[in-house]
Structure 1
Amino acid sequence: MNLKTFVITILSLLITVSVKGNDFLFNEVSSFVKAKPIWPEGNEKKQNMTVSFRRVFHVKSIESANLKIAASTDYRAYVNGKFLAHGPCVAAHDYYRIDSYEITNLLKPGDNIVSIEVSGYNTPSYYLLDQPSFLQAEVVAGNKVITASGTSDDFSAYILNQRKPDVPRFSFQRPFTEYYILSSDYNQWMTDASWNKGQPVSCAIQPEKKLLPRGVPYPDYSILRSSQISDSLYVFTSNSTGFIGLSVKVKKPSKITLFFDELLSNNDVNYKRLGTESYIVYDLQPGDYTLETFEPYTLKYLKTKIEGEGDILMTYMRSYVNSDVHRAEFESNDVGLNFLFETARETFRQNALDIFMDCPSRERAGWLCDSYFSARVAFDLSGYTWIEHNFLQNFLLPDTFKDIPHGMLPMCYPSDHPNNNFIPNWAMWFVLELEEYAKRSTDKVMIEALKPKVYDLIEYFKPFKNKDGLLEKLDKWVFVEWSAANSFVQDVNYPSNMLYAGMLDAAGNIYNDSSLKKEAEKVRKVIRKQSFDGQFFSDNAVRKNGKLEVQRNNQTEVCQYYAFYFNVATPELYPELWQRLLNEFGPKRKINNPYPSIHFANAFIGNYLRLEILSRYGHIRQLMNESLDEYLIMAKTTGTLWENMTTVASCNHGFASHIAHVFYRDILGVKNILPNIKKIEIKFTDTDLKSCKGKIPVGPEYVTLEWVKKDNVISYSLNIPEGYEVTIENASNCSLHKQ
C-alpha cells in the first residue's frame, strides 16, 4: 500500500468513526458488493447524453434494503415512481463518492421498480467535472444483492430522448440548460412494471473507479410552495435552491417556458441578469404532467410562458440544501439581529451541500477564500467539520492539478480549468483555512497529508519574490476583491503581499516552522516602509526603468482592511489611520465621504474584513450597528445575503453567511470553541442589548450560553460539553453574575 492509498484509507475510516455519535445523518459505505460501472457502449464521452436505467424486481416481504449509487456526471433516483435522491456528492478528478440510501419504506410486496436517470455532460465546468459518464449501482437487501450494474442481475438502460442535447450552456461555470420533449406517458418507465415501449441499449463495463465514502449528510429535500402574484408570475417566501416543480394540464400541443431569478428587475424576471440562461423549456403533448427540473437552481421569482393551450395548476420547489443546520440557536432582544442570523443560516444551507460553494445559482463551485469564511459557519451550525473535511480532501487527492502550474492550487475545486486560469491569492487563503481547520478538528492526518501541497505552494511563489522579498508580477488573475482594488494589481500588489505574509505565518504555525514566520515579519516591514504614505496604504507599485514607483493615487478602502487584518497595521502602529477607519469609514461614508479618492470596499471581502477588525479591537457595538445597516436590507429583499453590496451579482453567496459566526462570537460571547485542546473561550462585550442566548453544537453535545443585562450586571448561565475547560473574559462595562 503506497502512502497516498494509506492516507485515503485512514481519512475514510476517520469519517466512518466520526458519524457514530450522530444518529440522523448518513449511512457510510466505500465499496460495492458486486456492482461495476456501466454506460451505453461507445458513448461514455458523448456530450449531454441522458440515459434512463431501471430494474424491476419482486419481493415477497419487506426487509431492510439499500440502494448504493456512484455516477458521472449527475443522477436522479426513484423507487416505484417516488423521488428518492439527486447526486452524486462531488469529489476530486478520478475519484467518485458512493451514496447509500435506505429504501425499505418505499418498497412494497410484489414488483418494485428502481429507476435512475443519469446525465453525462462531458464538458468542462466549475460545478461538475468533465469525466467519462457511468453508473455504478446496486440494491442490497439484508445480505443479498438483488440487482447490480454490470452483472447478470443488471439494470436495463434506455435512451428515451426526452431531454434535448443540443442546447446552450446555463452559464460559463455550469453545463447545459434543460429542454424537454415529452408525451403524457413520459414517466411510465419508472412507474409501470409492465412498461415495454423502450428498446434497451447495450452497455459496456467501464474502467474500475476509485471510490470514496460520501462523507457528508444527505440533503434536505423539503417541498416549498410558491404564491401566485399574477397570471404568469410566482414568488417563493425567500430566495430558495432546489428543483423547480410544476403541475400542468395541457389541452393542445404546447411549449411551456419557465424563467427565473432571485429578484425582479423592473417588475419582471431578468433571466440573464447573472450572465446565465435561467430558463427551462418543456415541449408537451396533451395530458397531465407533474414535472421537476433535473438540475438545482436558485430563485425567488418564477415566470411562466405558455405557447399553446394549457393550465399551470401549481408551482413548487423540491429543496436541495444542507440538512444539518437546525440544531444551532441564536436569539436576542433585537428582532433585526435575529432576522439577520436566520438569513445567514438560510444562506449557508443553500451554499453548503457537500462543499462550500460561492453561490448555488450561477456556479455551484467550491471556491477558496469563500470557504475560509463558510467553514467557520459550518462548524458553528453543525458542530462538525464533515463538509470541510470533504472540501480539503478534494484538494489533497490529485497528485497534480491539470491545466495549472505545479505547486499552485485551483481557485475553485472540484472544477475544470482548460483556460489555465487560477487566482494565486486564493491559494494563500487555503493555508489560512487549514490553520483554523487544525484547531476546530482533531484531524491530524489531513493536516500532515496536506503538508507537501502547502510547501509546494510556498515554492511556487519563490520565483516571484523581488529583491525586497515582496511578490511581484504574479501570474494570472490577481484578485483582491470585487472593487477598484482589482484594477490596481500590477507589479507589486500590497494587499496580495499582506495576504502572503499571513499565509507564511499560518504555514509556520501549522508546521512549527519558525523560518516562515520570520519571513512573514520581513514582508510586513517592507510593506510598511513602501506602501504607507502618512495617511493611507497604497495598493500597488509599478516598476519603471528598473525602479519601483508606488502609485499614490491607487488607494482603496479594502487595502487598509487587509493591512489591519494581516497585522501589517495595528491601532498602536497607525493610530491616526485607525481612528479614520473607525470613525469616518464604513456605512456612514456613503452619506458623507471625506475621502473621495479612497475607493470604496465591497461586501466580498472588504466589508467582512472590516467586521473582523472591529471584532479584534473590541468595537462590538459598532460592529452590531454596521451589520444591521449594511445587511438587513439584503435579508428583507431576498431572504439571503449577497455577493456585492448591490444586486448586480449573486444575491445568495456562501461567504456572506459568516455574519452568523460574527454574532455567536461577538454578540453572544462564545469567542472560541477549540476541540483540538478541549477549550472554550467566553468573552462578554459591550453592546446595547438587554439579553441574548444561543446554543452551538459541538459534536453531539452543545455549548449553551444565556445572559441578561440589568443595572450594570450581566447575569448568565453556561453549559459546556463534558471534558472541556472554559475561560471567561469580561470586556463589558458590567459586572458578571453566574446563575
Structure 2
Amino acid sequence: MQRILFCLLCCLPGFLYAQVNWSGSWITNTTDTTATKAPFFRKVFHTGKPLQRAVAYVSGVGYHILYVNGKPVTDAVLEQGYTRYDKRLLYNTYDITALLASGDNVVAAELGNGWYNVQSHAVWEFHKAPWRNTPRMLINILLTYKDGSKETIVTDRSWKCTTGPSQYNNLYTGEIYDARAELPGWNKLAYNDASWQPALETNSPGGILVPQEMPSIKIIRRIKPVSVKQVSKDEYLFDMGQNFAGVVTLKVKGAAGTKVTLSYREVLKDGKIDLAHNTEHMRSWPGELPFQTDIYILKGGAGTETFTPQFTYHGFQYVSVKTTADVKLDKTSLEGLFYSTGFEEAGHFTSSDPMINKLYEAARQSYRSNFLSIPTDCPQREKNGWTADAHISAEIGLWNYKSASGYRKWLNDIRDAQAPNGAIPGIVPSNGWGSDSRDYTFGPAWGSALPIITWYLYLYEGDTATMRENYDAIKKYTDLLTSGAENYIFKKGLGDWMSIVETPVPFTSTACYYTDAVLVSKMARILGKNEDAVAYAALAEKISTAFNKEYYDPQTMQYNVTTATALSTTIYHKLVPEPALNKTVAQLAKKISDNHYHADFGVLGTKYVLPSLSDNGHVELAMKMLTDTGYAGWAHWIAHGATTLFEDWPGQYTHNHIFFGDYCAWFYKTLAGIRPDEAAPGFKHFFIQPLFVSQLTFAKADYQCRYGKIVSAWKRVGKQVVLEVEVPANTTATLRLQGKEDQLLQAGKHKLTI
C-alpha cells in the first residue's frame, strides 16, 4: 500500500501540471536592465458564478511574490527556482481557491532581479549573462466553476504596473528599501491604481516551460541573536550565534529619513565585522551597494517599523547595524531567517561522542545553507553551483533530506549547460563563465557530477528514469574525456582543491575518468544497452591499465605518488591491484599516523580517506583523525567555535562551505552501518554493517527510504554490544559483522546481542 501511495503522490503533480495550456503574454514594466526599482503589477477580475477551484500557474523571473486580495499565495521565498532561463523556465502552481471572493478580486505581484538581471559586478560576470533582461512574468489563473465552465485570467497589457519602495535588489550585494515610498494597500482590491501605467507585453526569456517539481525555498528556522553590543555612537554589532544563509528581519523606531545600514559577515576583526572578508571576487563599481549590505530608510511615525529583504540572501553570523540618527536597538531588534530549499527530513544520526554530534550538525547546517534552488559552494561570496562541491556533498543530502527532486532538477541544468562536444562547465547553471572545452579547465573531478549524481539517484532511489534521461549526456562527456586523454591518462582539470600537500592533477583526473567509464558501463547494462556496456567496461580496463603503468610499481607493489589523497584515490576508485591493497592501506594508515592524525588533503581526500581506512580495518584511526582537535582537521574548526564547515583548513576563505563534509554520510554508512545495495537499488535490499568503534558507547541512525524507515542502533552493555535493527516492509537486509557469518534479516524489528 505504501509503495502504491508513493507512486500516486509522484504522479499527482504531473497530472496537475499537464492541465496547463499557456495563453496570454509575458509582461514587464520596462526594457531598461539598469532600472533598479522593483516593479508592482496588479489586475482586478470578476468571478460571477460559484467557484469550484482556482489554480494560478506562475513563472516570474528572477523572483516573484504573488498576492491574491492582499494575501501572499505561499510562504516560500526567492521564487522562482534558478535555471539557465534561455534554456529552461520553471513555473509554480498555487491553489488560490480559498483566497478568492465572489465578485471582484485582485491579483498582484512584485518582481525582483534574482539571477535573471544581476546588476552588480563580480569575476563571474553574471551582469553579462546571455539571458539577462528586465524582470518579467507569465501568469495563467484557471478558474473552474461549479457549473463545469472554465475561465482563464492571463497576463497581458490590461495589467497595470508601477514601482514601489524597493529601490534596488541584487543577490551579491543586497537590497535598498525606502519605506517612505510605500503604497499602502497596493495589493488589495480597494486600492486606487488610476495613476499606474499599463504593463508592457514582452518576450519570453526563451526557455521551455516546465513545472518546478522540487520544493521551494523556505524559512526553515528563525534565529535569535545571542548578543548585541553598541560598538560606537551609530553602530550596533549583533552576533547570531551561528553561521547560516538567509536574511534578518529588522524592527526599528525612528525619524523619517533615518537610514539603517545592515552589513552581514562571517568573521570579526578587532571587535567589528571584517568588511574585507570574502570580497575578493567582487568588482564593485563606484557608487554600487557594497557586498552583503541591506539598507532600510524609515518612514517615521510613532510605531515600530519592520523590514525583511525580499529578493536577496546572505551568508553570515554577524550583523553590523549603522544608523544616521540616534536609534535604540536591542536583542529583539533583529531576528535571523534561515533560508534553504524546503526538503523534508530523511535521516538522523546521533552518538555518544559530543564532537561527532557537533560535526554532524555542522555538516547539516552547511548543507542547508548551500542548497537554495541549486547546490551551491557558499551562500555569500559566490552562490554558484560548482559541480565538484555538488557531487562530493550529494550523499550528505540524500541521507539527511528528501533531496532527490532537487538533484533531478540540477541534472537538467547540467544538460542545459553542456556544450555540443560534451564539455561541462565548472558552475551550473552557467552564463558561459568557466566553459573552456579546449583546455578542459575543470576536468573530470568536477564534470563527473553528471554521472556520479545520476548514479546516486539510482542507488538511493532506484531511479532509472533519470539515468535514461541523462545517459546520452553522460556518454558524450565520457567520450570527450577519451578524446582529450593521452594514452588513457587525463592530465587536465582541477585536482585535490584546498589541499595542504598537493597531489598531481593527472593522478586524480585519470581516476575520475576511470570511474566515469565504469559508471557508463553499469548504466548501459541496466538500460539494456549491452554493446555500450561491453565497450565502456573495456575502456575502463584500458584506463586502469594505463593508470597503473604510469603510477604503480608491480615489483615493490607501491605507487610512486604517496600523498594521502593519492593512496586513498587508488583504494576508493578501486584502481589498486588486489595483491597491493593491504600494503596501500597500510601506507595510508602510516601516513595519517605520522601526520599526528591531522589532515593535509583537500576536497577529494575528504571524500576518499575515511572510507579507505574504515573499510579496510582502520576505523579507529579514521575516528581519531576525524575527532582530533589539532590543526588541520574538521574538529579543529569545531573546537574553535565553528558551527559550519570551512572552505579551507586554515579558515582564510569562506566559513560556510559544504564540500569538506562527506564524513556526515560516512556516519550513516560506517558508524551506523546502513549501506545501499546496487544490485537491489532504492533499499529494496541493503546491508547493515556497523563498526563498533571504541570511542563510542552508542550510535544510532534512521533513514526514511521509499519503503519506510530503516533503523540501525547499537550500544555497549558491559562487554557486549546490543544492536537493534528495523527493516521496512517489502525489503530485506543482510547483517554483516566482522568475524561473523552474514545473516539475512526480514522486514520487522530485530534485536541482537554481540
- What's the TM-score once normalised by structure 2's chain length? 0.80
1:81–1:450 distance in 2 versus 1, CA, 3 Å = closer
For residue 683 of structure 1, what is the aligned residue in structure 2? 689
- Residue correspondence of structure 1 range 189-268 to structure 2 within 5 A: 189-190=186-187, 193-196=190-193, 199-207=196-204, 210-221=208-219, 222-231=221-230, 232-268=236-272
Structure 1 range deviating more: 344-353 or 186-195: 186-195
Residue 72 of structure 1, aligned match among 48, 61, 66: 61
Deviation of 1:716 after TM superposition, in Å, equals 2.4
Give the equivalent residue in structure 1 for 2:422: 407
Question: Which of the residues 99, 114, 117 maps onto 2:110?
Answer: 117
User: Given the alignment, which residue of 131, 137, 142 partners 2:139?
Assistant: 137
Mapping for residues 53-132 of structure 1, pairs under 5 Å: 53-55=41-43, 65-78=54-67, 80=70, 84-86=75-77, 87-92=79-84, 93-103=86-96, 114-120=107-113, 121-123=116-118, 125=126, 130-132=131-133
Displacement of 1:223 after TM fit?
Answer: 3.2
Give CA deviations for 1:431-450 in whole Å, capped at 9, x if unaligned: 23323322223332321222
Amino acid in the other structure paired with 1:409:
I
Equivalent residue number for residue 343 of structure 1:
362
2:468 aligns to what SS in structure 1?
A: helix
Structure 2: gaps spanning 5 or more residues? 119-124, 231-235, 283-290, 526-532, 744-750
Secondary structure (helix, strand or coil) at the match of 1:253 reads coil
Equivalent residue for 2:519? 506
The count of aligned residue pairs is 682
Q: Does 1:442 align with 2:462?
A: yes
Deviations 1:297-342 (A, max 9, x none): 2211111111234444611233321333435232222233233223
The residue matched to 1:391 in structure 2 has which SS?
Answer: helix
> Residue 481 of structure 1 corresponds to which residue in structure 2?
497
Q: 2:635 aligns with which of 624, 632, 636?
A: 632
Question: Which residue number corresponds to residue 728 of structure 2?
Answer: 721
Task: Confirm or deny that 1:565 pairs with 2:572.
Answer: yes
Quote the RMSD (CA, aligned, Å): 3.8
Q: Give the 3-state SS of the residue equivalent to 2:520 in structure 1.
A: helix
Listed as ranges, the matches of 1:293-304 within 5 Å are: 293=309, 294-304=311-321
Give the C-alpha shift of residue 138 in structure 1: 4.2
Percent identity, please.
Answer: 17
Q: Is the 8 A contact 1:640 1:652 kept in 2?
A: yes
Distance 2:571 2:523 in 1: 22
* Equivalent position SS for 1:605: helix
Distance 1:248 1:711, change over 3 A: closer
SS of aligned partner of 2:166: coil
> 2: distance between equivalents of 1:682 and 1:126?
50
Stretch of structure 1 that moved more, 431-440 or 60-69: 60-69
Cα distance in structure 2, aligned partners of 1:557 and 1:457: 28
Deviation, structure 1 residue 346: 2.4
**1:496 matched to 2:509:** yes
Q: 1:150 is matched with which residue: 155, 164, 184?
A: 155
**CA deviation vs aligned residue, 1:358-387 (integer Å, no higher than 9, x gap):** 222223322222222332223222356222
Which stretch has the larger CA shift, 527-536 or 411-420? 527-536
Residue 5 of structure 1: aligned partner: none
- Residues 50-85 of structure 1: per-residue CA shift (max 9 Å, x gap): 322234567899986544321221223445265743
Deviation at 1:108? 7.5
CA distance in structure 2 between the aligned counterparts of 1:139 and 1:430, rounded to whole angstroms: 36
Q: Where do 5+ consecutive residues of structure 1 fail to align?
A: 1-15, 540-554, 593-598
Deviations 1:365-420 (A, max 9, x none): 22222222332223222356222211222223x3x74xx56211122212212464
Displacement after TM superposition at 1:290 (Å): 1.4
Distance 2:543 2:60 in 1: 47
Residue identity matched to 1:511: A
Indicate conservation of the 8 Å contact 2:173/2:292, yes or no: no
Query: Structure 1 residues 362, 252: closer, same or farther in 2, change over 3 A?
Result: same
Distance in 2, Cα, partners of 1:303 & 1:691: 42
Q: In structure 2, how many angstroms separate the alpha carbons of the residues matched to 1:24 and 1:297? A: 35
After superposition, the Cα gap between the structure-2 partners of 1:497 and 1:77, relative to the gap in structure 1 and judged at 3 Å, is same
1:52 equivalent among 40, 56, 67: 40
**Contact 2:166/2:175 (<8 A) preserved:** no
2:549 aligned partner:
529
Cα–Cα, structure 1 residues 494 and 266, in superposed 2: closer, same or farther, change >3 Å?
Answer: same
* CA deviation string 1:581-601 (max 9, x = no partner): 213327x72689xxxxxx931
The letter of the residue matching 1:306 is T
Shift of 1:457: 1.4
Q: Structure 1 residues 650, 303: CA separation in 2 closer, same or farther (over 3 Å shift)?
A: same
Whole-angstrom CA distance in 1 between matches of 2:644 and 2:557: 37
Q: Classify the secondary structure of the residue corresponding to 1:329.
A: strand
